[in-house]
Amino acid sequence: MFELDRATIVKYRVPGSLLMERAGKGLAAGVIRLLREHGLAAKDILLVAGHGNNGGDAFVAARLLREAGFAVRLLLAGDRAKLRGDALFHFKKMFRNKIPVSELKTEKEWQKFYTGKKYFPAVVVDGVLGTGLEGKARGVAACAIRFINELSRKSLVVAVDIPSGLSSDTGLADGEVVRADLTITMGLPKKGMIEQSALEYVGRLEVVDIGFPLALVDKIKSDVGLITAEEISMLFPRRKRIAHKGSYGHLLLMGGAEGYSGAMTLTAMAAVRSGAGLVTVVVPERLVPVVARAVPEAMVHGAPETKSGSLDSTCWKKWKKRLGGFSALLAGPGMTRHAATGRLVKMILRDSNIPVVLDADALNVFEGRAALLAGRKCPLVITPHPGEMARLMGVGIARVQSNRFKIAAEACSLTRSVTVLKGAGTLVAEQEKLQINLTGNPGMAAGGMGDVLAGLMGGFLAQGMKPFDAARAAVYLHGRAGDLAAAKSSEQTLSARDLIACLPEVFREAGRR
């Protein structure tokens, strides 16, 4: 990033002050978007800035937010006399707008300032430290970080470029580190941000294009890419006016068992919302009234069942004959681990020539035998959470979580599938490609969320998306819907149905129609 900045300014003669203006503009837009998501559009904003470029970005944002009509205040962690270059230039522009500025130059001043304070702005912006940090935050910077984290009990926190105190190279937190709800990073993500150790601090990650020349960006090689809104929006072309329901595919869902009717219900609801033209659901006979009543848009069929109430493999004879009428198949939600149901999953893989998604218990059929998934002729997407991945690969969950990038790539290679390793920082792997998703929030650690994700993924496959694209679109939009749902209510109360209710808004963001 340092070299990109330098080359853009020196070789391409783009003024640093212009790059900072663009960064601050993107930061201000992100803050406004966050406020509106949470219904706080008319509230106050506190910006905490240091002497460096992150502080300069905050100065620009403060000016633009004030011009947009927000109540803005800025705390400077240090002495304005130490400001230099582009940061000083934008500080003066901000100051001319009569934005209240408090200078806190010593640790004693910080201690006095926040002792006993009960002031909680709607949003606090962290612009204290940036990517140039070496070692741990000290002095007034550490005081500012503690202050921001104290405010985070009731205020939303937006970090500029990277949470202050976090290493941009390693993602390690040594000492005081800001815990952000949203990090708005400039130009490109920094590799430390996607490490498991960093996700607790980064929160949701958005990237602002500040105008680095593409010729410079294209020279940068990376093993991992970030799934972004811009990428995902390109996967949803405008629908044809003369389209009909057959134009957007027919998805076949198979799963469910007694006691697990909710899994197939949520999967079917999400599949219907995905834009698939037709959705057919096959569940054990006893579940038909429940699922059909909950999802009237889907065609729900009963099938022979085992004594424990799961799908019996004898149902495949009928549905195998009908495979030609479907464009994708999803199996697994609520399926349970009955032996006869396991045989059904193996038959599906053996006979299918349409894209297949295997989720939940359909993956547990291959516990310790992941290589068996490679012996098929259909495109395949697998969606394990860490426990399912551990069983599939025959390793412990701790190993999966401490080596997520490596394990996802290994599973992808071993199974010859698009592999989605779920969790904080969901990974999508295909051959030499690996991407990470950073939408979503802790409120999504609840039952039914994976069923919604599977339904979206199956629906996108049914509409003709390539498996890798269907997987990354599903994980991004699923997480984004979770973020919007949490903003409308709370992370604590978030449910899978709340997420489904937010899908129309998320699709509007992605496609405008």
pLDDT in tens, 450-482: 999 999 999 999 999 999 999 999 999 999 999
Region 23-39 average pLDDT: 96
Q: What is the pLDDT of residue 222?
A: 85
Region 338-346 average pLDDT: 94
Residue 324, SS3?
helix
Residues 291, 295, 298, 304: what is their CA dihedral angle, to the nearest 10 degrees? 0
Phi-psi region of 431 (alpha: psi -120 to 50; beta: other; left: phi over 0): left
Residue 130, SS3?
coil
Under the banding of pLDDT at 50, 70 and 90, the label for residue 371 is very high
Under the banding of pLDDT at 50, 70 and 90, the label for residue 219 is confident
**pLDDT tops 90 at residue 342:** yes
Q: What is the pLDDT of residue 132?
A: 81
- For residues 217 and 277, state if they share a domain: no
**pLDDT tops 90 at residue 221:** no
C-alpha 279/C-alpha 421 separation (Å) is: 25
- For residues 424 and 375, state if they share a domain: yes
- For residues 364 and 413, state if they share a domain: yes
**pLDDT tops 90 at residue 115:** no
Region 370-389 average pLDDT: 96
Instruction: Judge contact between 186 and 161, C-beta under 8 A.
Output: yes
Last residue of one domain, picked from the residues 203, 222, 241: 222
Last residue of one domain, picked from the residues 222, 251, 275: 222
Under the banding of pLDDT at 50, 70 and 90, the label for residue 323 is very high
How many structural domains compose the chain?
2
Region 395-418 average pLDDT: 96
**pLDDT tops 70 at residue 513:** yes
- For residues 300 and 178, state if they share a domain: no
Between the alpha carbon of residue 144 and those of residues 50, 135, 149, 409, the distances in Å are: 9, 16, 9, 40
**pLDDT tops 80 at residue 74:** yes
Does residue 228 belong to any structural domain of this protein? no
Its pTM stands at 0.93
Does residue 227 belong to any structural domain of this protein? no
- For residues 465 and 485, state if they share a domain: yes
Region 211-240 average pLDDT: 90
Region 487-509 average pLDDT: 96
- For residues 291 and 364, state if they share a domain: yes
Q: What is the pLDDT of residue 117?
A: 65
Between the alpha carbon of residue 442 and those of residues 8, 108, 423, 432, 439, the distances in Å are: 38, 36, 10, 30, 11
Does residue 314 belong to any structural domain of this protein? yes
Last residue of one domain, picked from the residues 172, 189, 222: 222
CATH number, domain containing residue 492: 3.40.1190.20
- For residues 333 and 272, state if they share a domain: yes
Query: How many CB atoms neighbour CB 199 within 10 A?
Result: 17
- For residues 175 and 32, state if they share a domain: yes
Region 413-432 average pLDDT: 96
**pLDDT tops 90 at residue 261:** yes
Q: What is the pLDDT of residue 511?
A: 83
Give the distance from CA 417 to its chain's centroid: 21
Under the banding of pLDDT at 50, 70 and 90, the label for residue 268 is very high
Q: What is the pLDDT of residue 453?
A: 98
Query: What's the 3-state SS for 143-173?
Result: HHHHHHHHHCCCCEEEEECCCCCECCCCCCE
Query: What's the 3-state SS for 41-68?
Result: CCCEEEEEECCCHHHHHHHHHHHHHHHC
Region 286-290 average pLDDT: 97
Does residue 53 belong to any structural domain of this protein? yes
Partnered with residue 160 across adjacent β-strands are 184
Q: What is the pLDDT of residue 153?
A: 92
Domain ranges, residue 367: 233-511
Cα-Cα-Cα-Cα dihedral sign, residues 374, 376, 381, 384: negative
Does residue 261 belong to any structural domain of this protein? yes
Does residue 41 or residue 359 have the better pLDDT?
359
Does residue 260 belong to any structural domain of this protein? yes
**pLDDT tops 80 at residue 252:** yes
**pLDDT tops 70 at residue 359:** yes
Instruction: Judge contact between 269 and 281, C-beta under 8 A.
Output: no
Region 471-499 average pLDDT: 97
pLDDT in tens, 95-112: 999 899 999 999 999 988
Nearest to 103 by CA among 180, 51, 178, 159: 51
CATH number, domain containing residue 147: 3.40.50.10260
Instruction: Judge contact between 479 and 292, C-beta under 8 A.
Output: no
Q: What is the pLDDT of residue 339?
A: 93
C-alpha 477/C-alpha 235 separation (Å) is: 12
Does residue 181 belong to any structural domain of this protein? yes
Instruction: Judge contact between 511 and 274, C-beta under 8 A.
Output: no
428: its two tokens: 């999508």
- For residues 217 and 254, state if they share a domain: no
- For residues 189 and 260, state if they share a domain: no
Q: Kindly report the average pLDDT of the chain as a whole number.
A: 95
C-alpha 340/C-alpha 316 separation (Å) is: 11
Instruction: Return the top range by mean pLDDT from 174-178, 210-214, 324-328.
Output: 324-328
Percentage with pLDDT > 70 across the chain: 100
- For residues 489 and 469, state if they share a domain: yes
Q: What is the pLDDT of residue 116?
A: 65
- For residues 180 and 246, state if they share a domain: no
Does residue 333 belong to any structural domain of this protein? yes
